[in-house]
Amino acid sequence: MHCPFCRHADSRVVDSRTSDDGTTIRRRRQCPACQRRFTTIETASLSVVKRSGATEPFSREKIVSGVRKACQGRPVSADDLALLAQKVEETLRGTGSPEIDAYEVGLAILGPLRELDEVAYLRFASVYQDFESLADFDAAITSLRAERAEREARAAESGTDGGARAAEDAVAPDGDGAGTSEQPADAVDTDGGTGAAGDEAPVRG
Ligand SMILES: [Zn+2]
């Protein structure tokens, strides 16, 4: 690495420190020519590839802002959201890939959000997974209930009283959850609709 003072082409690492959260390394370097010292920070690159094909650096803030609206009116704190964003980043970095599809980012959000708050999860999932009908909500709720029943059965076995509330208030399909900053602008064309499928229309034979 070039010395930022004299542009000498080389430098020597005199100290290395990993940050508390383990995501960055600070290196103290010394220039063998002018002897001055400087610091470099090393971070594994993690980019998100958007639907448009453009890439942008992964950002926990974007995860938080993308999920926050789905959490409106729910008992979810800023700390909860920060922790969720951290989990998402850990999951994505765990894939070992430097570039992540925006769709994968959404998938990585669903799991921790479901644990955090079921209503917020349903709101987010309905936007992210393009829920189109009550049947989609129904399927998601059925799956939530099945998991909850399993949890409660386990809790009952171990003697605790479970005490979870029913999921009757879970659905809010009023569009209120349409809040992700990464919300797909180009909605998926599922059934062709009017037939005006544009330049992507399959031409066969
Ligand atoms: Zn120098």
Whole-model pTM over 0.75: no
CB-CB contact of 129 with 136 (8 Å) = yes
Cα–Cα distance measured from residue 179 to residue 182, given in angstroms and rounded to the nearest whole number: 9
Higher pLDDT, 51 or 173: 51
Q: Is residue 184 scored above 90 in pLDDT?
A: no
Cα–Cα distance measured from residue 178 to residue 188, given in angstroms and rounded to the nearest whole number: 15
CA of 7 to the centre of ligand 1 (A): 6
Q: Is residue 45 scored above 80 in pLDDT?
A: yes
Give every strand in the sheet of 12-18, ordered side by side: 12-18, 24-30, 37-43
Tell which residue, 34, 15, 37, has the closest CA to residue 26: 15
CA of 39 to the centre of ligand 1 (A): 13
pLDDT tens digits, residue range 132-167?
888 888 889 998 899 888 888 988 888 655 444 444
Q: Which residues of 24-49 are buried (b: 16+ CB within 10 A; e: fewer)?
A: eeebebbbeeeeeeeeeeeeeebebb
CA of 14 to the centre of ligand 1 (A): 14
CA of 2 to the centre of ligand 1 (A): 8
CA of 16 to the centre of ligand 1 (A): 19
Cα–Cα distance measured from residue 170 to residue 184, given in angstroms and rounded to the nearest whole number: 24
CA of 73 to the centre of ligand 1 (A): 56
CA of 24 to the centre of ligand 1 (A): 24
| DSSP SS3 for 12 | strand
CA of 3 to the centre of ligand 1 (A): 5
- 61-66 average pLDDT score: 93
CA of 9 to the centre of ligand 1 (A): 8
